Amino acid sequence: PNKDHIFLHLEHLGPEVLHERLPGITETAQIFSGVDATKAPIPVLPTVHYNMGGIPTLYTGEVVTSADGDENKVVPGLMAAGEAACVSVHGANRLGSNSLLDLVVFGRSVAQRCAETMTPNQAHKPISPASEEKILDRFDGLRNAQGSRSTAEVRAEMQKVMQDHAAVFRTGESLDEGMKKLTATAGTFSDIAVSDRSLVWNSDLVETLELDNLLGCALTTLASAQNRQESRGAHAREDFPDRDDDQWMKHSLCWRTSDTETQIDYRSVHMYTIDDEIDVIAPQKRVY
């Protein structure tokens, strides 16, 4: 390996075996790396683990926030389900509570809640003109951005910071350094350049809007990992190798308060069920 890639050697298996048993890998290597896996090693770029977490919701799919002393305050009209949501039946989403479970169980739950709370053919409430202006200002501001940094340049810098400093195995030192670098990178978004000003099929603008969202996700992910001084699930801190239920049996809530700043709060873990069909399943140590 060199500092950027690990190489996967499959060429010794021979063309027949590769095409019969590993056709997908062989084709992917050819398309994305221009490598013939029957003759040369495949470069592999290590990346980060899946994220566990998401938009906090009730089992009904209603999004909740922490406000006015209520950590389960429902955000009216906003729902989430699937991998975007954190219903937290097993700790988080995706492999934490399986994305298929989220869609089949909680997607249905969202539909049922919608039927309970909505009247057919009812009109939407008026939208504040101020919020509409804010959306249009952001859209036009980015569409006409004439800074010195391209979207691809800032995105690549963000990706490298996250790969180097927020991978599965973390330390306080790596997270602190990563936060400094990511904050600097996020700060340059105000100097972004968009070359396409059109309103039809503008991929340059779409990627810039996506980058703004990704920077927010990266900042909140890194800040939450930096703040949580324990290891739990996919969050493995080498300086805090054990799970600490006394201090950290709580959800991290993180808001992006500006282009480069975040705010952290917490939400309780509910160690009870809503009926008597099953007892609470206590967290278990993750072993292999």
246 and 148 both lie in a single domain: yes
Lowest mean pLDDT among 74-78, 86-90, 190-194, 259-263: 86-90
Q: Is the pLDDT of residue 92 over 50?
A: no
Q: Helix or strand or coil: residue 233?
A: coil
- What is the tally of structural domains in the chain? 3
pLDDT at 50: 62
What is the C-alpha separation between 141 and 52, in angstroms, rounded? Answer: 33
Q: What is the CATH number of the domain that holds 180?
A: 1.20.58.100
23 and 137 both lie in a single domain: no
What is the C-alpha separation between 32 and 30, in angstroms, rounded? Answer: 6
- What DSSP designation does 128 have? P
pLDDT at 96: 46
- The length of the chain is 288
Lowest mean pLDDT among 52-56, 62-66, 71-75, 169-173: 52-56
Q: Is residue 22 part of a domain?
A: yes
Q: Helix or strand or coil: residue 216?
A: helix
108 and 73 both lie in a single domain: yes
pLDDT band at 288 (very low <50, low <70, confident <90, very high): low
Instruction: Tell me the pTM.
Output: 0.80
Q: Point out the domain boundary residue: 117, 141, 160.
A: 117
- CB 239 within 8 Å of CB 172: yes
Mean of pLDDT over the chain = 88
Instruction: Please name which of 247, 229, 227, 249 lies closest in space to residue 237, comparing C-alpha atoms.
Output: 229
Q: Is the pLDDT of residue 152 over 70?
A: yes
Q: What is the CATH number of the domain that holds 27?
A: 3.90.700.10
What is the C-alpha separation between 206 and 288, in angstroms, rounded? Answer: 42
174 and 263 both lie in a single domain: yes
| Domain assignment of residue 35, given as a range | 6-44
Average pLDDT (60-75) is 93
pLDDT at 282: 80
pLDDT, one tens digit per residue, over 176-191 is: 999 999 999 999 999 9
Q: Is the pLDDT of residue 52 over 80?
A: no
pLDDT, one tens digit per residue, over 96-143 is: 445 677 778 888 999 999 999 989 998 988 888 899 899 999 999 999
Lowest mean pLDDT among 31-40, 49-58, 256-265: 49-58
Q: Is residue 279 part of a domain?
A: no
pLDDT at 234: 77
CA 58 to chain centre: 19
pLDDT band at 214 (very low <50, low <70, confident <90, very high): very high
141 and 262 both lie in a single domain: yes
pLDDT at 99: 65
37 and 65 both lie in a single domain: no
pLDDT at 190: 95
Instruction: Please name which of 61, 127, 116 lies closest in space to residue 88, comparing C-alpha atoms.
Output: 61
